[in-house]
Each structure stands twice: as structure tokens, then as C-alpha cells.
């Protein structure tokens, strides 16, 4: 096959099928109804185009990536995590931000764990330009605070909108944080 510089086929190599998509009617013997059929240059798309598009398409991959990020931000695993982060200043700042966010709320009000690093990053954007990297440290602080009895970790499971999750229980899905009755 001869290809031109732009990658299209040379005039002598064009297949015998029509170059424009044309519709033709064909009768099906079983139902007697006519179906529209489209003719194009080739019966199947070029393999390179199919491979580059991917099975799910770029939009689906992007949505899956975003969904994964949101899921990671809204969930905090009770799997063994260090009680404090390696940076004591960051731990103290996260504890202070958590206490500051929970203080003005009613006793039954809850917050999403991602609000803590967002508030910290908003207060000091130079020190914390990307709040998403603070999520693991925030999870460690939240579970440490829960272990000490200052906060309660809740999760919606079935019809129960606020099931208390004990420290060490397996957690799958989004959680919420509420100040405990002892700290209130």
C-alpha cells in the first residue's frame, strides 16, 4: 500500500467501496422490514485508532480516576496507621484544625475528614499548597483522636445514618467525624 505524506491512501490504493457513507435498504426475510445499512471505506476501524481510544475511552478513565480520588478523600481506613505523623508540627496543626472545625458545631453535627486539611491549606497556602497530600496524616490524627475519646467516627451503613465505628474496625466507604459527648 502506498501512503501519502499526510498518511492517507494514494488514489490507486483506494478500495472499491464508496468513499462517502451511503445508506442502502436491505430487506430481512424474517420480519420483512427494511434496515438501514451504512457503507464506509473500510469494514473495521484502523487498529491504531482502536488501541489509542482504549476499551473504556478517555472520559471513562478520567471519571474513574476522579472517583478514586474522591473515594480516598472521603474515606479513612482504620487499618493500622501511625498514631502520629513523622512531623510533630503537622500533627499539632491538624489536631488544632480539627478542634477548631468541631468547636462551633452542635453536638450531633458532623464534618467530612477532608475539611481538616482543606482548612489547614487555606490558612497557610504557602506551607501546604496541596491539601490532598495531607489526607493520610489527617486520617492518622482522626483515629488517634477517636482512640483518646475526643471525637467519634461515624459511617452510614444501610438505613443507619450514623453508626459509630470503633477504633480498629474495618471501614469501607465514607466516614464523618463528630465531637464526642466527653469533649463537648
Task: Return the pLDDT at 121.
Answer: 92
Model confidence at 81, pLDDT cuts 50, 70, 90, reads very low
- The verdict on residue 56 lying in a domain is no
The contacts of residue 148 (CB under 8 Å, 6+ apart) are none
Q: What percent of the chain is predicted at pLDDT more than 70?
A: 56
Task: Return the pLDDT at 118.
Answer: 95
- The verdict on residue 57 lying in a domain is no
- The verdict on residue 46 lying in a domain is no
- The verdict on residue 39 lying in a domain is no
Task: Return the pLDDT at 56.
Answer: 53
pLDDT one-digit tens code per residue, 16-63: 555 555 555 555 556 566 666 555 555 555 554 444 445 556 677 777
* pLDDT surpassing 50 at residue 101: yes
3-state SS of the chain? Answer: CCECCCCCECHHHCCCCCCCCEEEEEECCCCCCEEEEEECCCCCCCHHHHHHHCCCHHHHHHHHHHHHHHHHHHCCCCCCCCCCCCCHHHHHHHHHHHHHHHCCCCCCCCECCCHHHHHHHHHCCCCCCCHHHHHHHHHHHHHHHHHCCCEEEEEEECCEEEEEECCCCCCCCCCEEEECCCCC
Report how far residue 123's alpha carbon sits from residue 95's, in angstroms, rounded to the nearest whole number: 14
- The verdict on residue 170 lying in a domain is yes
* pLDDT surpassing 90 at residue 114: yes
* pLDDT surpassing 90 at residue 82: no
Task: Return the pLDDT at 160.
Answer: 78
Q: Which domain holds residue 139?
A: 71-179
pLDDT one-digit tens code per residue, 115-171: 999 999 999 999 888 999 999 999 999 999 999 999 999 998 877 778 899 988 888
- The verdict on residue 164 lying in a domain is yes
Count CA atoms within 13 Å of residue 10 on its CB side: 7
- The verdict on residue 13 lying in a domain is no
Output the domain CATH number for residue 128.
1.10.10.10
Task: Return the pLDDT at 36.
Answer: 60
- The verdict on residue 82 lying in a domain is yes
The contacts of residue 89 (CB under 8 Å, 6+ apart) are none
Confidence (pTM): 0.55
What are the two backbone dihedrals, phi and then psi, of residue 121, each rounded to the nearest 5 degrees? Answer: -70, -35
Mean pLDDT on 88-115: 94
Number of independent structural domains in the chain: 1
Q: Tell me which of 64 and 127 has the higher pLDDT.
A: 127
Amino acid at each position: 500500500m502506498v501512503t501519502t505524506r499526510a498518511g492517507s491512501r494514494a488514489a490507486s490504493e483506494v478500495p472499491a467501496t464508496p468513499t462517502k457513507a451511503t445508506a442502502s435498504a436491505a430487506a430481512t426475510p424474517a420480519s420483512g422490514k427494511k434496515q438501514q445499512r451504512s457503507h464506509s471505506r473500510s469494514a473495521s476501524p484502523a487498529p491504531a485508532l482502536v488501541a489509542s481510544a482504549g476499551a473504556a475511552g478517555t472520559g471513562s478513565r478520567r471519571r474513574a480516576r476522579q472517583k478514586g480520588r474522591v473515594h480516598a478523600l472521603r474515606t479513612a481506613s482504620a487499618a493500622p496507621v501511625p498514631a502520629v505523623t513523622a512531623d510533630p508540627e503537622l500533627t499539632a496543626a491538624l489536631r488544632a484544625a480539627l478542634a477548631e472545625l468541631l468547636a462551633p458545631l452542635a453536638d450531633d453535627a458532623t464534618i467530612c475528614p477532608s475539611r481538616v486539611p482543606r482548612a489547614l491549606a487555606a490558612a497557610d497556602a504557602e506551607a501546604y499548597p496541596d491539601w490532598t497530600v495531607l489526607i493520610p496524616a489527617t486520617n492518622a490524627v482522626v483515629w488517634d483522636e477517636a482512640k483518646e475519646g475526643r471525637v467519634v467516627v461515624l459511617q452510614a451503613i444501610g438505613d443507619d445514618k450514623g453508626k459509630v465505628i470503633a477504633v480498629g474496625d474495618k471501614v469501607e466507604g465514607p466516614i464523618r467525624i463528630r465531637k464526642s459527648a466527653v469533649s463537648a
